[in-house]
Amino acid sequence: MKRSLLIIFVVVLVFIVLMSGCTQAIKTNTPTGIAPTSPPSSVMDGKTLLETRCTVCHTLDRVSAKKTDFAGWEKTVKRMISNGAELTSEEQTILIQYLADTYK
């Protein structure tokens, strides 16, 4: 009898621990169900966007080899988005400005 009560207690305890972890995971997910890649309260800066989004397909050497102005970087970023790069409009603006300031 004592053993079965102990087993029930352990099962309930494990269940509670697992459920508290699930609740935390639900709170940190975005509305689409995908975990955010950055803290939800901050927007990534241009350098971080470049390092995390652009290097999915390109090396940083490829990016740094290109020298152009704001309009040129805007055209390039829009082309990359049409090829599948994922950036919000706010991230696009931040990235283009960073590229234009850094790689002129």
What is the spatial distance between Cα 23 and Cα 26, in angstroms, rounded to a whole number?
5
Looking at residue 41, its pLDDT comes to: 39
pLDDT in tens, 27-62: 444 445 554 554 443 568 999 999 999 999 989 999
What does the alpha-carbon distance between residue 72 and residue 9 come to, in Å, rounded to a whole number?
A: 65
Whether 85 and 53 have beta carbons less than 8 Å apart is answered as: yes
How high is the pLDDT of residue 9? Answer: 67
Pair of tokens at residue 58: 């390109």
Q: What is the largest CA-CA distance in the chain?
A: 78
Residue 93 scores a pLDDT above 70: yes
pLDDT at 43: 67
pLDDT in tens, 55-89: 999 899 998 899 999 999 999 999 999 999 999 99
